[in-house]
Amino acid sequence: MSTILGAILFLRFGYAVGHTGFIGTIAIIVIGHIVTLPTALAVAETATNIKVEGGGAYYIISRSFGLNIGAAIGIALFLSQAISVAFYVIAFVESLEPLANFLSQEYGNTWWIEIMHNKSALGFASMTLPTLLMLTKGANIGIKALYIAVAVLFTSLVMFFAGTTDMPFEEVDFLAKTDNPNAFFYVFTIIFPAFTGIAAGLGLSGDLKDPKKAIPKGTLWATFVGIAIYIAVAFKLVISVPLDDLANDQLIMSQIAIWGPIIPIGLACAAISSALGSIMVAPRTLQALGLDGIFPGNRANRWTAKGKKKDNEPINGSIITCLIAFIFVSVGDINFVAEVISMFFMVTYGAISFLELLLLGKRSSL
C-alpha cells in the first residue's frame, strides 16, 4: 500500500481532475487498472502454482515463460523500478517547497535557505540518504521506516477527507475541465505510475515467509483498496475546489485538509515510503537476473548476483540502482521522469498480460 498510495496521489491528482474533469480522472483510473489489474491477477495466479523465490515479478515470469522472455521483461521492469526511485526523490523535494517558502519569509534568503530552493542540490542530498541506508543497513531498515511513513500517510489522508471548503455543491460540474486543458493521454502518462505500485510488493517475494499465499492475497487487496481511495480523492477534490485551482496548485489538497501542513508532510512520507519500496525492490530484480545468467559474460552475472554473506542483500544491485536514480534526479523534472516510468511499466505490464493470455489460450486448447 505504501507504493500504491504514493506521491502522485498528493502531487498530481488535483492536476488530473483540473485538466480532464472528474469523469476524465475516473477514466484514467479505469484505463490504468485495465493495464495493471490483469497483470496483478496473472502474476497472483501464477504465483500459486510455483515456488516463488527472490526477484518478484521477474522470477514468476521467467519460471512460467522461460528465461529469454523473462529476461526481456525483467530488464524493463528493473529500469522502471530504478527510475521510480528518482521520481519519488524529486517528489520529496517538491514536498519541501512550502517549508522553503515559509523559512524565506521568516529568515530571509540565507545560504542554507537558498540550498532548499535549489531543487537539483536538494535532490542529490535527498538521494544520498536512502543510498547510504541501503548500502549499509539493507532492506531491514527500509521496512522499519515504511511503517512510520505509512502511518503518517494514512493520517494525512484522514485529515484531507475530514476537511471542508466553502464551495457550494450546486456549482460542481463533474464533466467540466479547466480552460486550455492538457491532452487526456498526456495527463494519463503522468498519472499512470500511481497504479504500478503492485510491483513493489512482488519484488520483495524473497523476504516473505509464505510468498505463495501472501502474493495473491496482498496484491489483490492492495489493488482494490487503492482504486477505492483514488476515486474517493478525485471526488473530494472536485466537490471542494474550483477546477482552475486544481489545475494550477500542485499542493491543493492542503487547502482542503483540516490542517494544511499535514499534506506536504504526508507527501514527504509517501515519497519516502515509495522511494524506499522501489530502492528495496530494484536491486533484487537485478540480482535475480544475474543469478539466472542473463547478462553477457560470467563476470557481469557474478557481479550483479553478488549479495552480502550475512543475508544475501544485493549490494551491487543497490549500487547500480542508486547510480541510475542519481542520473534521473539530476533531470529534476517530475513530469518527464513520470513519462519515462510510464513507458517502461506499460511495456512490462502489457507484455505480462499478453503472455498470460497466450498461456490461457494454450491451456484451453489442450
The tens digit of pLDDT for each residue in 130-149 reads 777 766 765 555 566 677 77
Residue 46 has pLDDT above 90, yes or no: no
The three three-digit cell numbers of residue 342, written as one number: 510510464
Residue 187 has pLDDT above 90, yes or no: yes
Position 24 in a domain = yes
Q: Give the DSSP per-residue string, 200-250.
A: HHHHTGGG-SSHHHHHHHHHHHHHHHHHHHHHHHHHHHHTTS-HHHHHH-T
Label residue 53 by pLDDT band (50, 70, 90). Answer: low
How much is the average pLDDT of 242-247? 90
How much is the average pLDDT of 226-254? 91
Residue 106 has pLDDT above 80, yes or no: no
Position 2 in a domain = no
CA distance 126 to 7: 15
Residue 16 has pLDDT above 90, yes or no: yes
| Least reliable range by pLDDT among 37-51, 160-174, 231-245, 310-324 | 37-51
| Cβ burial, residue 60 (10 Å; 0-12/13-18/19+) | buried
CATH for 179: 1.20.1740.10
Position 227 in a domain = yes
Residue 233 has pLDDT above 70, yes or no: yes
| Residue among 251, 196, 203, 219 at smallest CA distance from 60 | 203
Position 1 in a domain = no
Q: Which residue has the higher pLDDT, 1 or 249?
A: 249
How much is the average pLDDT of 56-69? 80
Q: What pLDDT does 1 receive?
A: 58
Location of C-alpha cell 536512502? 130
The 10s digit of each residue's pLDDT in 313-353 is 888 888 999 999 999 998 888 889 988 998 888 888 888 77
Looking at the 3D structure of the chain, how many domains does it have? Answer: 1
Residue 206 has pLDDT above 60, yes or no: no
Position 89 in a domain = yes
Domain of 77 in residue numbering reads as 7-365
